[in-house]
Structure 1
Amino acid sequence: MKCIALYHVGFEDLGTFAAPLEARGYQIVYQHGSKPLTEAQWRETELVVVLGGPIGVGDTALYPWLADEIAGIKLRMQLKKPTLGICLGAQLIAVALGGEVAGREAGKEIGWSPVDICEHAGPLAHLRGVPVLHWHGDNIRLPEGVPSIVWTPGTPCQAFVVGDHVLGIQFHAEFEPAALEQWLTGHAVELQQAGVDLHRLREDTQRYGEDLGRAGRAVIEAWLK
């Protein structure tokens, strides 16, 4: 089986999700979003994971290939092919489903905090009581009929599912703590603009990262089953 991971910046990869995917027999292939997948790849690939990045779904005029991603995701939705979206990836899936993405009124949500999880959250139930890493400035507005199953104050949609084949996660359940310094340097301008305390972010990552790693692996393993 093949898993294509569409990435937008090199350090935002599959993180802790990679090992469980490989253990389930997936061959992981990374491809940058600017190199569009063929229609055959969208149709036939067993699993497509659309990863995060600092650009937004509304930036198609600046990054025209984002429109190709949305179109490909729409095709997979029609075919009910397994698709996972993280952060930007979740936002792209939401738009492909007919939803919207808008700026977060409370400003950027960057840092560690727990999430509220509904009773019927399926695989995401493994994250109850576990602080996760948030890193976004936009909010997902899901289309009618697709409920949010995870939320935080100021972010009504932190995750959603469609059937057994689609999972969208706004926060970074896949985050690998060892990659933190790459994130801090890669997003240096955003962090400075948002006034994020890097010392606290490092301390919280040391405090919570290992627990998130275990819970994140449990999430992807449960979803793959």
Structure 2
Amino acid sequence: MTKDRKAVLIRHVAFEGPGILSPILASMGFSQRIVDASDGALSREDPGDLLVVLGGPIGAYDDRDYPFLLDEMKLIEQSFKKEIPFIGICLGSQLAARVLGARVYPGKSKEIGWGEVSLSSEGFQSPLGCEGGIHGVKVLHWHGDTFDLPAGASRLAETNVTPNQAFSVGNNLLALQFHLEATATDLEKWFVGHSFEISKTERVSVGDLRRQTALYAKTCEKAGEAVFRSFLSRAGFGER
């Protein structure tokens, strides 16, 4: 009998959920537990067989205001020590970088909207460069912070604004500043939840974001599915 697979997904705000990841995980035989980071139960959580840490509108360094981040980083560290596969998206990637000893800090400007990333040579060999992956695909950017590349990590992608857009450590850790999980339907909730940030960011508007989403989201969803399936396969999770 094959062992049940358990994915633990850490969520910071209700409208930034797992998106396309949820049906992918279901198709691969994972049970899924979504944990709200701010509920105060992270110290009792285990990382399961796969730990996914999603995005959110706070900083990875904001643990004085949001002390649950300390428990969250302990959980991430536990997954690394146990060599449990990990996917970090946006805030999740920044928390992973911090756990690995790298500095996380405000970037030189915000990136909000759709645009390509440039893959490094390591990126082309990673899940990002898999068949049907993100090379040449516009992906969703929505972050103001960035991080230094952790020691021992491979830098996978960059933009002109953000040199460290993605990194990996072996086959078990994939950290993405950008969003491959969000669907066009999801983003309607983001436009409401992030309305203040949108209104305060120059050259960004809901109308423009909606028009870009209509053009690029479906292609990104397909590329994101290829990337996530490639990562899970390399991490030892075959199809069921």
Q: Determine the structure 2 residue equivalent to 1:203.
A: 211
Match of 2:21 among 17, 21, 43: 17
After TM superposition, the structure 1 = structure 2 runs for residues 179-198 of structure 1, keeping only pairs within 5 Å, are 179-195=186-202, 196-198=204-206
Q: Determine the structure 1 residue equivalent to 2:144.
A: 137
2-structure distance, mates of 1:138, 1:55: 9
Match of 1:49 among 48, 52, 66: 52
Q: Determine the structure 2 residue equivalent to 1:120.
A: 122
CA contact (8 A) 2:42 2:68 kept: no
The alignment covers a number of residue pairs equal to 222
2-structure distance, mates of 1:173, 1:40: 25
Unaligned runs of at least 5 residues, structure 1: none
2:220 pairs with 1:212: yes
Q: Determine the structure 1 residue equivalent to 2:64.
A: 61
Deviation digits for residues 196-225 of structure 1 (CA, Å, limit 9, x no counterpart): 122111111000010001000011111110
Q: What SS is found at the alignment partner of 1:48?
A: strand
CA contact (8 A) 1:39 1:72 kept: no
Q: What SS is found at the alignment partner of 2:114?
A: strand
Q: Determine the structure 1 residue equivalent to 2:12.
A: 8
* Displacement after TM superposition at 1:145 (Å): 2.4
2:39 pairs with 1:37: no
Q: Determine the structure 2 residue equivalent to 1:73.
A: 76
2-structure distance, mates of 1:86, 1:183: 15
Residue type of the partner of 1:110? I
Deviates more, 1:154-163 or 1:140-149: 140-149
Q: Determine the structure 2 residue equivalent to 1:98.
A: 101
Q: Determine the structure 2 residue equivalent to 1:89.
A: 92
Relative to the length of structure 2, the TM-score reads 0.89
Q: What SS is found at the alignment partner of 1:3?
A: strand
Deviation digits for residues 97-141 of structure 1 (CA, Å, limit 9, x no counterpart): 111111111x11000000001223211111000000000001111
Q: Percent identity?
A: 39
Unaligned runs of at least 5 residues, structure 2: 234-240
* Displacement after TM superposition at 1:78 (Å): 1.5
Q: What SS is found at the alignment partner of 1:12?
A: coil
1-structure distance, mates of 2:45, 2:14: 25
Residue type of the partner of 1:11? F
- State the Cα RMSD in Å: 1.2
1-structure distance, mates of 2:151, 2:200: 34
* Displacement after TM superposition at 1:179 (Å): 1.5
* Displacement after TM superposition at 1:39 (Å): 5.5
